[in-house]
Amino acid sequence: MIWHKKYTLEEVNSIFDKYMTKLLDIKAVEIQDNHIIATMPITDHVRQPFGILHGGASVVLAESIGSVASNLIIDTDKYAGVGLDINANHVRSASQGILKAVCSPLHIGKTTHVWDIKMYDEKENLICISRLTVAIIEKSRVI
């Protein structure tokens, strides 16, 4: 198991139930030994004017799940995981349903984590591929 301790969905969702992730209704739905899965409903809150999923909303989902995943690995009394770099390839559009993000580690180092986040629609069509790099910094450096 890669996590600092065994977390429940309720504990993870208490993190998601604030800030932008609450506004977009992002929720953790599964935690396994080496990956985490979250969902986001495709509603008008995350659609662009043409009625399809906004690419920025996919990036918010990717950065949210990856940042939370990093913070589930580290000792958060001493350290914080903060987004350093993100990219996303939007390979298919979606306009309704639930977007599912599967977040798996590519690298877990002392000062950086790199996450692979793949997003799927309800038919398991690949919608977006993202890679997130998270910097692990001393909590005293967080402003």
The domains found in the chain, sorted by start residue, are: 9-141 (3.10.129.10)
Q: Backbone phi, then psi, for 117, in 5-degree steps? A: -120, 120
Of the candidates 99, 25, 94, 107, the residue with the CA atom closest to the CA atom of residue 66: 107
The reported pLDDT for the residue numbered 140 is: 82
Q: What Å distances lie between residue 112 and 50, 80, 85, 105, 136, CA to CA?
A: 37, 11, 11, 11, 6
pLDDT in tens, the chain (143 residues): 999 999 999 999 999 999 999 999 999 999 999 999 999 999 999 999 999 999 999 999 999 999 999 999 999 999 999 999 999 999 999 999 999 999 999 999 999 999 999 999 999 999 999 999 999 999 887 66
**Residues with catalytic function:** 63
Query: What distance in Å separates the CA atoms of residue 11 and residue 87, rounded to the nearest whole number?
Result: 28
pTM: 0.95
CB 94 within 8 A of CB 62: no
